[in-house]
Structures are given as C-alpha cells and as structure tokens.
Amino acid sequence: MPERPRGSSDAGQTRRRGAALEDAILRAAADELTEAGFSRLTMDKVATRAGTNKNALYRRWPNRLTLAIAAYRRLATTVQPPDTGSLRSDVLEWLRRANRYWSSPQGAILRELLAAAGGATELLAQLQEQSGDAAAAPWLTILGRAIARGEASPEALHPRVATIAMTLLRNEFVVRGAPSAPDEVLIEIVDEVYLPLVRGRSAPPA
C-alpha cells in the first residue's frame, strides 16, 4: 500500500485510525471552537470536518463537553511572566496580559467551557491548568523575585495571596460578564489590593 498523499483538506484518503484520527478530530474540534465557540460546536460538524463521523468521537469522549475541553487544551499556550525589576510593573503587566487573554476569542471559549462545566470538578480541573492552579506558578515567581528584592513580605508567598489579583480579575469576567476589564480596574486591583496586601503587616510602604 502506498503512502497517503494529502490535499490541503483534512479528508482522509485512506482510513486513518488511532492517534492519527484522534489528532484530526481534536484539530477539527479546536477549529470549530475558535470559529463558532462551544455553544455552536456540534458533534456532527466536528465529525464532518475531521472527515469522519460521530462514532469515532463517542468512542473516545463520552460527550460534547469533554471533547471540547480536550480540544481547548491544545489551543492553550504557555508564556513566561515578566521580569521588569519592579513588583508593581510585573504585576500590572501580567494582569494586563491576563485581561487580554480573557478578552480574546480564546478567553471567550474558556469562559464558555468554564460555564458549561458547571460544578463538574473533574472537568474543571482540566481547565484549571489554564485558568487556575497552574496559573499560580507565575504569580509565585513574580512574588518570589519581589521578596528577594525586599519589595514584599515573605508571608505573602502563599497561593491564595499571590494569585489574588488574578482571582479578582477573573471575577470581573465571570460575575460581571464584562467583555474586557478597563485598565483602571487593573490598576485599582494592584494598588488597592495587591500591593497593600503583599507588602505585608511588617514591611512599611516603600
């Protein structure tokens, strides 16, 4: 049997299986997600786009949401936190990036998925890598540097405290439904909450 020459489209010449097919499906789902969002992603469209049918999808993922989450994960990219030499500008910059992300089409998808997952803990856990716990690491990095510079109190190196700025920002989106948070809000979060908090009960204001 010869190799499978390919057109630009995903429609398979030969019958794909296993990882190759799974990959095509996830790619198709990710595309649907970016083009139409989760609410308009249908299993039939994903299947057609991947050049297969719903059977192949349901054989791998138990339902629409699970598939969508799996597809979303390959959209996510990792970025390095800033290191400007000042806590305030690091925090503000990181917050601005987060704001841009949540405001972006991808952020909208994340919000949809978060909403659709409702209270389903296992599913939420998969999204948290993007939106929650794993996202704590950069904050700890930023804060760790600031502590080394004496800009923050060591007691602040606590996940709940370190990530509070992001939590407040996410709150703007999730609860207020804002398409994007104004820069004033970010500044307010930094100056009224974050910095006072991490400078700590011991360290005097710089």
Q: Which residues bind a copy of itself (CB under 8 A)?
A: 108, 111-112, 114-121, 124, 128, 131-132, 158, 160-161, 164, 167-168, 170-171, 173-179, 188-189, 192-193, 196-197, 199-201, 205
The answer to whether residue 27 forms part of the interface with DNA (CB under 7 A) is: no
The answer to whether residue 17 forms part of the interface with DNA (CB under 7 A) is: yes
Q: Quote the CA–CA distance of 75 and 160 in Å, as a whole number.
A: 27
Question: Of the two residues 78 and 121, which places its CB atom closer to a copy of itself in the complex?
Answer: 121
Which secondary-structure segment (H or E) carries 43?
helix 43-49
The answer to whether residue 26 forms part of the interface with DNA (CB under 7 A) is: no
The answer to whether residue 171 forms part of the interface with DNA (CB under 7 A) is: no
DSSP string, 127-163: HHHHHSSTTHHHHHHHHHHHHHTTSS-GGG-SHHHHT
CA distances (Å), 98 to each of 8, 168, 171, 174, 183, in order? 34, 11, 12, 14, 12
Looking at 6, 35, 63, 206, which residue binds DNA (CB under 7 A)? 63
Looking at 21, 30, 162, 195, which residue binds DNA (CB under 7 A)? 21
Number of residues written out for the chain: 206
Contact set for DNA, span 98-157 (CB under 7 A):
none
Q: Which span sits near DNA by CB under 7 A: 37-45, 87-95, 100-108, 169-177?
A: 37-45
DSSP classification of residue 72:
H
Q: Which span sits near DNA by CB under 7 A: 11-19, 106-114, 165-173, 176-184?
A: 11-19
CA distances (Å), 19 to each of 4, 16, 51, 59, 65, in order? 16, 9, 15, 13, 20
Binding site for DNA (CB under 7 A): 1, 12, 14-18, 21-22, 40-44, 51-56, 58-59, 63-64
